[in-house]
Amino acid sequence: MAKKIKRIKPKVFITRPIPQEGIDMFKALANVRLRKTDSWITRKELLAGVKDAEILLPILTDKIDAKVMDAAPKLKLIANYGAGFNNIDIDAATERGIMVTNTPGVLTDTTAELAMTLILTIARRVVETEGIMRAGKYPGWGPMMYIGSQVTGKTLGVIGLGHIGSRVAEIAYHGFGMNVIYYTHQVVRELESSLHARRVSLPTLLQQADFVTLHVPLNDSTHHMIGKKELNMMNKDAFLINTSRGPVIDEKALVVALRKKSIAGAALDVYENEPKMAPGLAKLNNAVLVPHIGSATKETRTAMAKLSGGNVLAYIQNKELPTLVNPDVLDRVKK
Ligand code: DGY
């Protein structure tokens, strides 16, 4: 009788608790090591944790560079818990034959909702005036008090018209009758016809938009894409919204612009040196600041867990990975 060959269960290292539904997808087929502490992993713990892992499931703030990969000689898959993968050195992974996956798509609506929330919140001074109420400083209604900016009918400038940027544009157009202008490398024909959106240059967008919203990935070409020069191009009644990645904005230059009131305000979900903020930012009334909650709904965080878990499962079962970000690696992968 032929002997059954038992495959040794691959070791999976998960750097921080994620919704259980994702882990349940592969736990029977793997040897799972979950770091149970719900805080950012230290570099030392990360280097030790990956040592014998075949699969790494990190979160989007874990820096997975060549040094981490070299500390993990058996590593074959990095299943990032996050749509953005700027935390991973993709070239280093590809060179080493390591596949990388992410969690795109499932956070489109949630992040677009937050971008829209931030637009409304900063325009209508919601946080600032809520603070007045809580402090018991509201003296009663007055015609000239707490005047904000109307959103309906204004011009929205979308930088980066991928899934999330497109969804924000749709909500703004259909829900608030906003005019949409956008800046991307390529024309997005469907949105030009369905939303009457216009593709413009970056300077034109900055000069014409009442609300500038950022939806680009972080890479060398988008780092500090909005700095002093760009902020100076914006209208003094305009607002800047960022739900993408913090380093897309030169945060120190933004603090200067907000202090001088050369723009009306900014609403941020992400920061250049997260979790820190540039000095002075937290003191400004014309800034709304939330802690990277773009994807933070039960539905989306669960869907992200299932998508990263689905990638791990597909790898274990030797199937096509649902969201491989470095397909070039396939030439080098030997399983
Ligand atoms: C991502 O997945 O890239 C988002 O920033 C999470 O909020």
Which residues, including other chains, have CB under 8 Å from residue 4's CB and lie 6 or more apart?
none
Query: What's the confidence (pLDDT) of residue 329?
Result: 97
Assess whether the C-beta atom of 82 lies below 6 angstroms from ligand 1.
Answer: yes
Query: What's the confidence (pLDDT) of residue 319?
Result: 97
Q: Best of 16, 18, 60, 323 to mutate for ligand 1, by most ligand atoms within 8 A of CB? A: 60
Task: Determine the distance separating the centroid of ligand 1 and the alpha carbon of 297, expressed in angstroms.
Answer: 12
Task: For the chain, give every residue range classified as CATH 3.40.50.720.
Answer: 11-106+297-331, 108-289
Q: Which ligand 1 atom is nearest residue 82's CA?
A: 2
Number of Cβ atoms within 10 Å of the Cβ of 48: 12
Cα 31–35–37 angle (5° rounding)?
160
Q: Best of 295, 297, 304 to mutate for ligand 1, by most ligand atoms within 8 A of CB? A: 295
Based on the number of CB atoms within 10 Å of its own CB, is 62 exposed (0-12), middle (13-18) or buried (19 or more)? buried
Judge whether 245 counts as a catalytic residue: yes
Q: Which ligand 1 atom is nearest residue 294's CA?
A: 7
User: Is there a cis peptide before residue 275, judged by omega within 30 degrees of 0?
Assistant: yes
Query: What's the confidence (pLDDT) of residue 1?
Result: 53
Query: What's the confidence (pLDDT) of residue 4?
Result: 62
Question: How far is residue 327's CA from residue 99's CA, in Å, rounded to a whole number?
Answer: 8
The tokens for 174 are 């259909």
Assess whether the C-beta atom of 246 lies below 6 angstroms from ligand 1.
Answer: no
Judge whether 332 counts as a catalytic residue: no
Q: What is the pTM of this model?
A: 0.95
Annotated catalytic residue within 95, 113, 128, 274: 274
The tokens for 94 are 């590809």
Assess whether the C-beta atom of 107 lies below 6 angstroms from ligand 1.
Answer: yes
Place of tokens 């780092």: 223
Task: Determine the distance separating the centroid of ligand 1 and the alpha carbon of 16, expressed in angstroms.
Answer: 15
Query: What's the confidence (pLDDT) of residue 70?
Result: 98
| DSSP-based three-state secondary structure for 267 | strand
For domain 108-289, the CATH architecture is 3-Layer(aba) Sandwich (3.40)
Q: Which ligand 1 atom is nearest residue 295's CA?
A: 7
Number of Cβ atoms within 10 Å of the Cβ of 189: 10
CATH superfamily placement of domain 11-106+297-331: NAD(P)-binding Rossmann-like Domain (3.40.50.720)
State the distance between the two ends of the chain, measured CA to CA, in whole angstroms: 27
Assess whether the C-beta atom of 115 lies below 6 angstroms from ligand 1.
Answer: no
Question: How far is residue 296's CA from residue 244's CA, in Å, rounded to a whole number?
Answer: 14
Judge whether 274 counts as a catalytic residue: yes
In this prediction, the residues of the chain whose per-residue pLDDT falls under 50 are 335
Query: What's the confidence (pLDDT) of residue 5?
Result: 64
Assess whether the C-beta atom of 164 lies below 6 angstroms from ligand 1.
Answer: no
Assess whether the C-beta atom of 323 lies below 6 angstroms from ligand 1.
Answer: no
Task: Determine the distance separating the centroid of ligand 1 and the alpha carbon of 71, expressed in angstroms.
Answer: 26
Assess whether the C-beta atom of 216 lies below 6 angstroms from ligand 1.
Answer: no
Assess whether the C-beta atom of 84 lies below 6 angstroms from ligand 1.
Answer: yes
